[in-house]
Amino acid sequence: MAGAHHPVPPRNDDLGWAVRTSTEQEYPEFAAVFSEAIGLPVERLLREERDFPSAEYDRALVALDGERIVGTTMAYSLTLTVPGGPRAVAGVTAVGVWPTYRRRGVLSALMRRQLADVRERGEKLAVLWSSEGTIYGRFGYGPAVRQFEASVQLAHAALRPGAPRDPALTVDLTEPGHVRGEIEELHRRTASARNGHILRKPGWWGWLLHDEERDRRGAGPLRAAVVRGPDGAEGYALYRVLHKWEDRLPTGEVRVREAVAATARAGVALYDHLFSRDLVSSAHLDNLAEDDILTVLLADPRRLARREFDSLWVRLVDLPGALAERSYATPLDTVLEVTDRFAPWNAGRWRLRAGGGEARADAADAAPDLTLDVSHLGAVYLGGGSLTAFVDAGLAVEHAPGAAARLDTALHVPRAPLCTTDF
Ligand SMILES: CC(=O)SCCNC(=O)CCNC(=O)[C@H](O)C(C)(C)COP(=O)(O)OP(=O)(O)OC[C@H]1O[C@@H](n2cnc3c(N)ncnc32)[C@H](O)[C@@H]1OP(=O)(O)O
């Protein structure tokens, strides 16, 4: 369905670059272009795809200059946790343009075609991790997950005395491969509690857990710490230890890739374990949600040095579909005037109504309460961020006083979104 007043555009990009689906046979050439653009050795891309196949060749697109591939992108068929439950989404990846062809509209042509393809498949959202913050806003993506990496000196990493500790729990430290089944199951079980998680396919675990010397950046092998209670595994952490010495003092660190806990007591047991490793002085945690339990568990939270970054970007590809399949915290009846340069079928006025556990968005002619870009909706779709900030900044316009605040309230979710799967 198109928004009022805006017809569906033709599929081909107007700048003239030919875009077509790629093939498995063509993958070496595809990988060569992407590797040159992104700065990863092509041998590595080819080896990883051989050892841990993940490519969906029927979702790989190439832009051509004659016969020559000058731009690439691919999409994975993923499942993402969103308010309302897990949903099928397109996971956009492998975006690259051959350096001598950049800034001539090649990516724009690929994006247009990819959005049309995603829509045709019936996926309502496209998501990605961006290499730079400047690329994807114009294509309608908004930074939907802001999370942080953090460091803490172990001398100041004591947890609050009231933290729940249960002596019945044990911590098993081992190679990830030995406990892969438990890890996979725990990730699946806990991911649904937070928006922004990718429900990892079994094939992805091999890639995530493979542990080669060259990936260690001086640290030791990847370890899994699994917390078990009387009824089985309750949490795990994946981490490495970097041992370093200066003036006979240990200055190394525990490098935590992810810590996952199904219970509060398991979370405490994991942090107790990670922060009590010998012969290191600090811990570095790669992916923490804004409201990770550590932010309230540390006796001295000021000691947690945080650096925020955007992880998952979200794009509403089928705007009425995406808004209708999301859940809302409060009833809502509002008219949105949406701009969308790259998926014009979304542009126009939409009346969004939510209540009684249902939501719908219909093309409308009524006067809008808010005028905003589709990227703004992407930025708040998972329940993080604030539309009011876009209004305050003058990027979105509020016509009915309080409209942005009401929408923000309806979009609210109790836990900050988090994405720990970089694809
Ligand atoms: C999900 C992922 O795979 S993330 C990985 C993304 N890939 C990379 O970072 C690899 C290195 N970079 C590249 O290969 C290319 O520069 C790309 C893919 C980022 C951009 O491709 P291009 O073909 O140059 O983009 P295109 O010419 O269509 O640009 C469209 C617009 O976006 C702007 N733009 C594109 N990339 C950037 C950027 N990195 N920073 C700022 N603006 C940008 C262009 O200036 C242009 O603006 P305009 O419409 O006002 O003229």
The ipTM (two decimal places) reads 0.97
Place of tokens 């790629």: 22
Whether pLDDT at 245 is above 60: yes
State how beta strands 332-339 and 397-398 pair.
unpaired
Residues 262-286 pLDDT 10s: 999 999 999 999 999 999 999 999 9
Ligand 1 pocket check for 128: Cβ under 6 Å: yes
Rounded mean pLDDT, 312-331: 98
Question: What is the whole-number distance in angstroms between the Cα of residue 313 and the centre of ligand 1?
Answer: 15
Question: Alpha helices, DSSP H only, in 11-121?
Answer: 27-38, 42-51, 106-121
Ligand 1 pocket check for 62: Cβ under 6 Å: no
Query: CA-CA distance, 373 to 49, in Å (whole number)?
Result: 37
Distances (CA, A) of 218 to 44, 244, 257, 264, 422: 19, 9, 15, 32, 22
Rounded mean pLDDT, 307-316: 98
Ligand 1 pocket check for 19: Cβ under 6 Å: no
Rounded mean pLDDT, 290-311: 98
Q: Whose CA is nearest to atom 35 of ligand 1?
A: 135
Distances (CA, A) of 166 to 209, 276, 297: 29, 17, 15
- Pocket probe for ligand 1: among 14, 69, 107, the residue whose CB has the most ligand atoms within 8 Å is 107
Q: Which residues are catalytic?
A: 136, 423
What is the SS3 string spanning 194-257? CCCCECCCHHHHHHHHCCCHHHCCCCCCCEEEEEEECCEEEEEEEEEEECCEECCEECCEEEEE
Query: CA-CA distance, 93 to 280, in Å (whole number)?
Result: 36
Residues 365-420 pLDDT 10s: 999 999 999 999 999 999 999 999 999 999 999 999 999 999 999 999 999 999 99
pLDDT of residue 14: 55
Cβ atoms of 128 and 141 within 8 Å: the answer is yes
pLDDT of residue 214: 84
- Binding site annotation covers 104? yes
Query: CA-CA distance, 121 to 375, in Å (whole number)?
Result: 21
